[in-house]
């Protein structure tokens, strides 16, 4: 057993990237012996649901193989590039009918290499009403060779019927101190590990990225400076929005560098092995989603930084300015679920903070 991973076994490392989810991992290891047609992984962002889905796929797709064949199935599954592993995520703010139809098409195609295929569906809790019936139908009447793994942060009323057709696996938020411990174990300076963990909001992948981000402190300082720089003029708002967006552009550099390495590794592997279904287009699509999520994370980081500032103001005593600010910050946070225009969101937030 490992203190870092919260309970993964030493004999099975397919879940080594999943931190602090011992109960969920034990359930998946047991389920792999006799899998049913659909699973629903429920937990907060950064809790390792996608990594766990890949680990579960590695167990299912390597079943019946041994030696190098089994190792290959596991390696490709963990990388998300196995020919019999499909990942479908929303291109926009919600899963649409076109994506539900894509899931149905993938589900009806026979496996390429073995008796089973895995379809991982991200963001099921954000699904358009028109797509719910289509997704429900394929999960109710799945092809015998297909196992569905659905990912959601929560189970809203709209997807209760879908959830009732799945075995639910619960994931918990990764504690900040556990993230710090993990980063330090990986060689990150303790001070930097604490700063990255605090900014990552329970997301280990984001914490790892932030730990390599030299400009994290500067972005935090920029957000902290916002209240003092708002002087009631539109010019100040425009200047701050430009600076905040430029800082967010800079925040993507570390991720983009990491993504270039992943593409180079994939290209090198394909050149050597000539593997079918290399998944380059899927990898590029995933990279675009990662950039979009990073910018969303940066906005949430900024909102959290502003909230801390105004909480400190309230510690000193009642403050109508802080009260108004909390309303503005909540409105901005609520608006983010609709995938709004970045500039317009920031402009509205800062104008509300000025009281205009």
Inform me whether the pLDDT recorded for 8 exceeds 50.
no
Task: Flag whether 263 is in a domain.
Answer: yes
Mean pLDDT of the region 294-313:
90
Task: Flag whether 191 is in a domain.
Answer: no
Question: Quick one: 36 and 150 in the same domain?
Answer: yes
| Residue 352, pLDDT score | 92
Task: Flag whether 331 is in a domain.
Answer: yes
Q: How far apart are CA 56 and CA 147, in angstroms?
A: 11
| Residue 85, pLDDT score | 95
What is the span of the domain harbouring residue 155? 13-170
Task: Flag whether 122 is in a domain.
Answer: yes
For residue range 207-236, what is the model confidence (pLDDT) as tens digits?
Answer: 888 888 888 888 989 999 999 999 989 999
Distance of CA 353 to the CA centre of its chain: 29
Of 170, 188, 223, the residue that ends a domain is 170
Mean pLDDT of the region 78-87:
92
Q: DSSP code of 340?
A: -
Inform me whether the pLDDT recorded for 274 exceeds 90.
no
**Residues β-bridged to residue 95:** 127
Cβ–Cβ < 8 Å for 81, 282 = yes
Of 40, 23, 20, 36, the C-alpha closest to 155 is 40
Cβ–Cβ < 8 Å for 167, 41 = no
| Residue 237, pLDDT score | 95
Cβ–Cβ < 8 Å for 99, 128 = no
Task: Flag whether 227 is in a domain.
Answer: yes
Q: How far apart are CA 211 and CA 7, in angstroms?
A: 25
Q: Helix, strand or coil for residue 3? A: coil
Q: How far apart are CA 258 and CA 219, in angstroms?
A: 20
Question: Quick one: 244 and 164 in the same domain?
Answer: no
Question: Quick one: 156 and 300 in the same domain?
Answer: no
| Residue 10, pLDDT score | 33
Q: How far apart are CA 213 and CA 226, in angstroms?
A: 21
Of 150, 170, 190, the residue that ends a domain is 170
Question: Quick one: 71 and 150 in the same domain?
Answer: yes
Inform me whether the pLDDT recorded for 106 exceeds 90.
no
Strands 117-121 and 146-152: parallel
| Residue 355, pLDDT score | 62
The rounded radius of gyration (Å) of the Cα atoms in the chain is 22
Task: Flag whether 176 is in a domain.
Answer: no
Of 117, 142, 170, the residue that ends a domain is 170
Question: Quick one: 134 and 244 in the same domain?
Answer: no
Inform me whether the pLDDT recorded for 277 exceeds 90.
no
Cβ–Cβ < 8 Å for 21, 6 = yes
Question: Quick one: 124 and 245 in the same domain?
Answer: no
E strand or H helix at 85: strand 85-88
Task: Please compute, for residue 79, the number of CA atoms within 13 A of its CA located in the half-sphere on the CB side.
Answer: 21
Inform me whether the pLDDT recorded for 329 exceeds 90.
yes
| Residue 45, pLDDT score | 83
- Angle (CA) 136 137 138, round 5°: 95
Residue with tokens 């942060």: 153
pLDDT range class, residue 272, cuts 50, 70, 90: confident
Among the ranges given (1-5, 34-38, 259-263, 273-277), the one the predictor scored with the smallest mean pLDDT? 1-5
Task: Flag whether 4 is in a domain.
Answer: no
Question: Quick one: 149 and 229 in the same domain?
Answer: no
C-alpha distances out from residue 193 to 19, 182, 187, 216, Å? 16, 9, 9, 12
Question: Quick one: 113 and 247 in the same domain?
Answer: no
Direct distance between the N- and C-terminal alpha carbons of the chain, in angstroms, rounded to an integer: 56
Among the ranges given (5-9, 105-109, 186-190, 292-296), the one the predictor scored with the smallest mean pLDDT? 5-9
Inform me whether the pLDDT recorded for 9 exceeds 80.
no
CATH number for the domain spanning 92: value is 3.40.50.300
- Range list of H helices, the chain: 22-31, 49-62, 67-79, 97-108, 129-140, 160-164, 176-185, 190-200, 204-211, 216-229, 234-273, 280-315, 320-335, 342-354
Neighbours of 224 (CB within 10 A): 14
Question: Quick one: 140 and 227 in the same domain?
Answer: no
Task: Flag whether 6 is in a domain.
Answer: no
Work out the mean pLDDT of the chain and round it to a whole number: 87
Cβ–Cβ < 8 Å for 299, 312 = no
Q: How far apart are CA 246 and CA 24, in angstroms?
A: 39
Please tell me the total count of domains within the chain: 2
Question: Quick one: 350 and 296 in the same domain?
Answer: yes
Question: Quick one: 147 and 286 in the same domain?
Answer: no
Q: How far apart are CA 260 and CA 252, in angstroms?
A: 12
């Amino acid at each position: 057993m490992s203190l870092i991973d919260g309970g993964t076994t030493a004999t099975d490392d397919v879940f080594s990237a999943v931190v602090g989810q011992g109960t969920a991992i034990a359930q998946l290891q047991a389920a792999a012996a006799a899998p049913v047609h659909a699973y629903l992984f429920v937990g907060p962002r950064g809790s390792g649901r996608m990594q766990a889905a890949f680990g579960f796929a590695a167990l299912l797709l390597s079943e019946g193989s041994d030696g190098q064949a089994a190792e290959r199935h596991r390696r490709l599954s963990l990388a998300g590039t196995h020919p019999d592993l499909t990942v479908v995520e929303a291109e926009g703010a919600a899963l649409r009918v076109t994506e539900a139809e894509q899931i149905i098409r993938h589900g009806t195609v026979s496996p390429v290499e073995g008796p089973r295929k895995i379809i991982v569906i991200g963001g099921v809790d954000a699904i358009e009403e028109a797509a719910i019936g289509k997704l429900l139908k394929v999960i109710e009447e799945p092809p015998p060779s297909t196992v569905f793994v659905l990912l959601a942060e929560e189970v809203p009323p709209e997807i209760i019927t879908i959830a009732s057709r799945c075995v639910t696996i619960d994931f918990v938020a990764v504690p900040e101190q556990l993230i710090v411990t993990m980063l330090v174990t990986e060689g990150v300076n303790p001070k930097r590990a604490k700063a990255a963990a605090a900014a990552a909001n329970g997301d280990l992948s984001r914490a790892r990225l932030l730990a390599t981000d030299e400009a994290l402190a500067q972005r935090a300082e920029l957000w902290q400076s916002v209240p003092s720089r708002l002087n009631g003029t539109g010019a100040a708002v425009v200047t701050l929005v430009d600076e905040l967006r430029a800082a967010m552009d800079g925040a993507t550099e570390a991720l983009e560098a990491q993504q270039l390495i992943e593409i180079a590794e994939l290209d090198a592997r394909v050149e050597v092995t000539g593997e079918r279904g290399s998944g380059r287009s899927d990898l590029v699509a995933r990279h675009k989603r990662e950039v979009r999520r990073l910018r969303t994370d940066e906005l949430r980081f900024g909102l959290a930084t502003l909230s801390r500032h105004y909480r400190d103001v309230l510690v000193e005593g009642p403050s109508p300015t802080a009260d108004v600010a909390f309303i503005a910050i909540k409105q901005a946070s609520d608006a983010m679920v609709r995938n709004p225009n970045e500039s317009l969101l920031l402009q509205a937030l800062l104008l509300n903070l000025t009281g205009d």
